[in-house]
Amino acid sequence: MTIRKQWLIILVLVAVLSVVVNSFVLSSLTDKYFKDYVQDNYEKHFNQIVAYITETLSAENYSKNQMAVQLETHLVDPINRIKVYNGEGLLLADVSSNNSMGKGMMNGHGMHGMMMGNYNPGLEEIDHAEIRYENKVIGQVNITKYSSAENSIDAWLFQSSLIENSLYSIGIVLIFVIIIGILISKNTSKDLIMTADMAQNIDIGNKTIKLRSNVKEIRVIQQSLESLQTRLKIKQKSRKALIDEMIHQTRTPLTIMKTHLEGIEDGVIELTPEEIKICENQIENITNIITNMSSMIDAEKEFDTNKKEKINISHLLRQIVSGLRAQYEKKEIELDLIGNEKINIFTDPYKLSQAIYNILTNAYKYTNPGGRVQINYQLVKDEVLITIEDNGIGISKEDQNKIFEAYYRSDYVLNSDGEGIGLYVAMENMKSINGKLSVSSELNKGSKFTLHLPKEK
């Protein structure tokens, strides 16, 4: 069952219940006052009848027909018969409302006719009154009435009128309730349908429009769905960035291996144990990347984890230079490592190597043949500084604050290959191992990248 139908049913039930309760309360109060009125009216007519008969019988001459006509005026509920006797017990007048009541039953129409057709007066009772004049009984009056006020004709008519009006009220209220309910439920159900469509579009990845319902609860749901969609987009963007990062990281060791294998195949590079070690290191790098890819399956899982160990900076840099030298020589770029000092630090060798690889790959890409790239390292207080300096095309001051953003590409290098993610990965890796990465550069003169590493004990 739809919410709209449920809403209409509840609204109708509440309206009917309200009218029934209201009618019951009003009927009870009105009926009570009506019964009090009937009783007071009976006592009033009773006293008037006794007074009239006393006055009539005390007179010497009176007319029985005139007496009957006068007594008929007192045949009002709950009085339905009046008998008058003289002092000797002879019947002087006998008037009754049976004939008029019968006519009322025959002529009843609609609800009143149905109620009167089912009317049953029930028990009757007779009130007696002696007519005295000058301490002498001169007659008697017997007044027949219904045993209780609710058994009278007027009471039945009154109650039937209340029931009839209550039914009319319920009918009128139902009409208004249904009309108002349809209008309100139409707007509410429309908002719910649009919200449901919005949820389905989010589920299948379609574009959605912003919705703003006038109903607070529905508006909260719509805002929650918009927030959910935003979070999903952020997760998708983060996952894409992560995948692009993995792809970029995989290219470096593959390129190094390809360069060395081509050199071995061409006879330029000899297949020495050192060359085999270089290829093994690149295979290990690729293995680490593939292992980390499993973390992408769970979008909520924290991907950035460090595996710190004690490493020798000089040994790490020589490995990196050995891997890239063949590629640099092929483009006729000089790659030099300055320094032989033995410096040990405690860090994640994979992330540090990847950061250095990415910077050297950029230097290789944007340094012209015949250029030079120089790597230097030194210990300054409790910090290890690794500098990578080239004499390539350089970076403008405007771009120096943007090159570490994901997918950023300067206007000066739009025609070259790349996705603009290498330096972003380098910066993120340095942050992950509590390091820093800075750059100073000048267009057409070259760039200098400095990696700051804490010397943890």
Q: What is the pLDDT of residues 384-401, one digit of tens each?
A: 999 999 999 999 988 888
Backbone angles phi, psi at 401, to 5 degrees: -90, -5
* Section 248-269 average pLDDT: 76
Last residue of a domain, one of 152, 177, 202: 177
pLDDT digits (tens, 9 = 90+) for 356-386: 999 998 999 899 999 999 999 999 888 999 9
Tell me if 334 sits within 8 A of 373, measured CB to CB: yes
**pLDDT of 304 over the 70 cut:** no
**pLDDT of 443 over the 70 cut:** yes
Q: Do residues 26 and 143 share a domain?
A: yes
Q: Do residues 273 and 150 share a domain?
A: no
Q: Is residue 194 part of a domain?
A: no
Q: How many CB atoms sit inside 10 A of residue 428's CB?
A: 19
Mean pLDDT is highest, among 181-185, 255-259, 427-431, for 427-431
Q: Is residue 183 part of a domain?
A: no
pLDDT digits (tens, 9 = 90+) for 317-330: 998 888 888 889 88
Q: Do residues 243 and 135 share a domain?
A: no
pLDDT digits (tens, 9 = 90+) for 42-70: 888 889 888 888 888 888 687 888 888 88
- The full length of the chain comes to 457
Q: Do residues 99 and 18 share a domain?
A: yes
Domain assignment of residue 23, given as a range:
3-177
Q: Do residues 162 and 242 share a domain?
A: no
Structural domain tally of the chain? 2
Q: Do residues 112 and 259 share a domain?
A: no
Last residue of a domain, one of 157, 177, 197: 177
Q: Do residues 266 and 130 share a domain?
A: no
Q: Is residue 223 part of a domain?
A: no
Q: Do residues 305 and 420 share a domain?
A: yes
Give me the pLDDT at residue 102, please: 43
**pLDDT of 118 over the 60 cut:** no
Q: Is residue 354 part of a domain?
A: yes
Give me the pLDDT at residue 101, please: 43
What are all long-range contacts of 325-331, with beta carbons under 8 Å and residues at least 24 apart?
Answer: 326/256, 326/259, 326/260, 326/263, 326/268, 326/269, 327/255, 327/256, 327/259, 327/364, 328/364, 328/373, 330/259, 331/364, 331/369
Question: Which of residues 39 and 242 earns the better pLDDT score?
Answer: 39
Give the whole-angstrom CA distance, residue 322 versus residue 278: 7
Q: Is residue 30 part of a domain?
A: yes
Confidence (pTM): 0.48
Q: Is the peptide bond before 78 cis (omega within 30 degrees of 0)?
A: yes
Give me the pLDDT at residue 385, please: 94
pLDDT band at 150 (very low <50, low <70, confident <90, very high): low
Give me the pLDDT at residue 119, please: 45
Give me the pLDDT at residue 114, please: 42
Q: Do residues 312 and 419 share a domain?
A: yes
Q: Is residue 387 part of a domain?
A: yes
Q: Is residue 424 part of a domain?
A: yes
Q: Do residues 7 and 146 share a domain?
A: yes
Tell me if 145 sits within 8 A of 78, measured CB to CB: yes
Last residue of a domain, one of 161, 177, 193: 177
Residue 24 sits in a domain whose CATH number is 3.30.450
Tell me if 62 sits within 8 A of 208, measured CB to CB: no
Q: Is residue 319 part of a domain?
A: yes
Q: Do residues 265 and 392 share a domain?
A: yes
Residue 442 sits in a domain whose CATH number is 3.30.565.10
Q: Do residues 409 and 274 share a domain?
A: yes
The edge-to-edge listing of strands for the beta sheet with 124-133 is 91-96, 79-86, 136-146, 124-133
